[in-house]
Amino acid sequence: MLMLSCPYCGVMADETELMPGGEAHLRRHGPEASAEDFKSYLFDRKNPKGVHVERWVHSYGCGKWFHAVRCTRTLEVFGTYPAQTHRPPEEICQSVAQRYPDWQWRDDGEDCETNSDSSSEGET
């Protein structure tokens, strides 16, 4: 079961208390953007098998939106932080990088990146 700590009220909530909001830190283009950029903003989402930065809302708690960095393959959670930030906090990035050395946050609006299968823990 996925457990996330709400960064606002501090509650360790399971997924039945939360609602997912999809990929975090999407780049919204300005009015001069092309139709292709706008289409990409509306529809193109990453769905990685690995580290992902996501939006969540504590829907049956304080009702606030926050971001979570987790591995979609192992459900390992690296941290949560308020939604009013433009990138994951450095300590969360370091935590992910310790587990996945090839991972790094990209500030250009792209999502996290991992070289797939850099970790090969056995699933029994």
CB of 67 to Zn ion, least distance (A): 13
Q: Considering the complex, state which of residue 55 and residue 99 has its C-beta at the smaller distance from Zn ion.
A: 55
- What is the C-alpha separation between 22 and 41, in angstroms, rounded? 13
Establish if 9 lies at the interface with Zn ion (CB under 5 A). yes
> Of 113, 91, 26, which Cα lies nearest the Cα of 80?
91
19: β partners: 57
Binding region for Zn ion (CB under 5 A) out of 6-14, 22-30, 44-52, 99-107: 6-14
Establish if 62 lies at the interface with Zn ion (CB under 5 A). yes
Choose which of 25, 52, 58, 67 interacts with Zn ion (CB under 5 A): 58
DSSP for 27-38 reads: PPP-TT--HHHH
Binding region for Zn ion (CB under 5 A) out of 19-27, 57-65, 76-84, 108-116: 57-65
Establish if 61 lies at the interface with Zn ion (CB under 5 A). yes
CB of 2 to Zn ion, least distance (A): 15
For residue 23, with 0-12 CB atoms within 10 Å meaning exposed, 13-18 middle and 19 or more buried, which class applies? middle
